[in-house]
Structure 1
Amino acid sequence: MKQCLSTIFAGLVALVQVFALHTHAGEVRFTALKSNQLVTATLGKPADGSVGEKGSPAVVLLHHGGGCVDSQTGAYATALNAAGFFTLEPCLFRSVYQRERVAASYLPQVFGALRYLAQLPGVDKSRIAISGGSYGGTLTLMSATRWARENHADSSFPAFAAHVAFYPPCFLIERFVRSGRSIPQIPADAYSRYTGAPIRIFAGTLDDYEDRDPQSCASMVAAMGDEAKSLISMRLFDGATHGWDHGRTYSFFEAVACKGKGCENRNVSNPEVTQRGIEEMTSFLKASLKGQ
């Protein structure tokens, strides 16, 4: 018990330090693709100020469905900045009350963020990754498809070089894929072809969206087909709920939770898992972007 508490405390201390060090950042604005919409974002730079000969890698970090005001992305940005990455945290919407119903509505902003970083001095445009949690995780997976790139991206710039999705609602994506039916803004075959970039999913075994089914994301990948299976790897955190990295514990009724049955969704703060997720994401990105 003492050892367990010590581990949790160490993770909490490390996480607090990460939040406290988020100082190499400033507000910027960029334009969403195919529109004149200005998007506010936080730009972070490598903490040591150094840039590689060919430029440094960068990551677009997407907030969860609650909005950018209460975003989880700051801790990830700080760790990535310390590891030599540029980061961009766009504010897609400020709160859940301003959120569009269909996640694909934000693909112009997502690919606008990619274009902004690709043009930023010091960034290696061939090594730009994307990561997000929950709603942002859905967009992260969607941005890996050839459909999204062909219809929403600026093809004069390289595609995202890696994708990291934290606790995306896997059952919802699987349900869409297996239905074989298009919905507004997303064609039925959207998840059938991919850009070829590596994809990593981090999920928890007690996620209420997935009805606490630890195989839910694996089932989604199986539904996506062989190409997806060759690109997607997964990391399950035992005992982790949805939103383990939000920094606070809270719950709310969610109509689509428990695989669409509707139930109370718990977001239990877990500093240890948060820190491990940040470290493993950073290692994955370093390995994935090294050979670009």
Structure 2
Amino acid sequence: MPPPELRIDLPPEPGEFRSMSVRTSYVSFPTAATPSLVVAGRLNTITTEDAAPTPGVVICHGSDGVDGRGQFHAEALNAAGIATLEIDMWAARGALRGAAARPRSPVETLPDAFAARAFLAAQPEVDPSRIGVMGFSWGGVVTLLAATAEAQPASGAEPGFAAHVALYPVCWAYEVAPGLSLANLTGAPVLIQTGDADAYDDPDGLDQLLSRLPPTSRSLIRGITHAGAGHGFDRDLPEQTINDPFAHKGKGGPVRMAFHPQAAKAAREAAVGFFSETLGA
């Protein structure tokens, strides 16, 4: 049997506005993965002056694990009055970080995202009908797959996510690689953000993806391509080069990851604006 849900709270921190404060909790919860897992995460809830429930967003990391990108976006979302839950999909699996150690497919980590949604929905500070999801690279793939009808939990007991923001989610693979299709979406709005210097895709990889989709899917997706930005452009860490079999449109090879301050700022603002609009922050 998985252990019960765990929540460890830290005292509230002063918010950016007089009517709001942010409470950080370190939590864990079981998922429906096979075998069953217990996933940990960092939960930031918002306490408002009128105690009204706020929207929430689940944040899914990339292949390098929890590395600061989630916190970069969480801080801005929290300041906009949106709770966040950044999960650690690797620690539960005993996985090392990086492309060589991750699971075989993002599909294997979809239960983590849906379990995180259920945990976030159970928090009294959060409105369960206004929960979105965002992710980077691997987490971006999870974010997009969570928008498909096929990925919804079989029980049907839990609603799906209300909005999705995917950053550089390897655009070439959809409608090409087996099991990766966006042809049948749930109807929730989607924002995809990419860079035109990303070694996983062509410079116009996002446009190519949208052109492969049926009109019903295209109507739900907004796209932004940031000029000069490569993979992991919002990762404020020293530049590094990785090797990934999905890079260069599936041919594999090196990928340069370098922080792009202008693209990072623009992407964060776009994500906050999108979630504020679609979740009613």
Structure-2-length-normalised TM-score: 0.84
**Among candidates 258, 261, 280, match of residue 271 of structure 1:** 261
- Residue identity opposite 1:43 in structure 2: L
Query: How many residues were matched structurally?
Result: 253
The one-letter code sitting in structure 1 at the alignment partner of 2:109 is Y
Displacement of 1:50 = 0.8
1:174·1:219 contact (CA, 8 Å) conserved in 2?
no
Change (3 A) 1:98 1:256: closer
Which blocks of at least 5 consecutive residues in structure 2 are unaligned? 1-15, 17-21, 92-96
CA RMSD of aligned residues (A): 2.1
The aligned residue for residue 29 of structure 1 is 28
Structure 1 unaligned segments of length 5 or more: list them. 1-17, 177-182
Amino acid at match of 1:283: G
Residue pairs, 1:41-60, within 5 angstroms: 41-46=41-46, 49-50=47-48, 55-60=53-58
List 4+ stretches of structure 1 deviating above 3 A: 51-54
Task: Name the residue aligned to 2:122.
Answer: 119
Q: Distance in 1 between matches of 2:262 and 2:165?
A: 19
Question: Partner residue of 2:215?
Answer: 226
Deviates more, 1:59-68 or 1:94-103: 94-103
For residue 253 of structure 1, report the CA deviation from its aligned partner: 2.8
Alpha-carbon distance in 1 for matches of 2:159, 2:24: 25
1:192 lines up with 2:183 in the alignment:
yes
CA shift at 1:157, angstroms? 2.9
For 2:255, give the aligned amino acid. N
Partner Cα separation in structure 1 for residue 145 and residue 50 of structure 2: 30
Structure having the higher helix fraction is: 1
For residue 34 of structure 1, report the CA deviation from its aligned partner: 6.0
Select the residue among 244, 251, 254 that pairs with 2:244.
254
> Which of residues 198, 206, 216 is equivalent to 1:207?
198
Distance 2:172 2:49 in 1: 40
**1:141 pairs with 2:130:** no
Partner of 1:162: 163
Aligned-partner Cα distance in 2 for 1:58–1:82: 12
Letter in 2 for 1:93: W
1:282 paired to 2:267? no
Tell me how far 1:246 sits from its aligned partner: 1.2
Q: With structure 1 as the length reference, what TM-score do the two structures score?
A: 0.81
Q: 2: CA distance between counterparts of 1:53 and 1:271?
A: 35
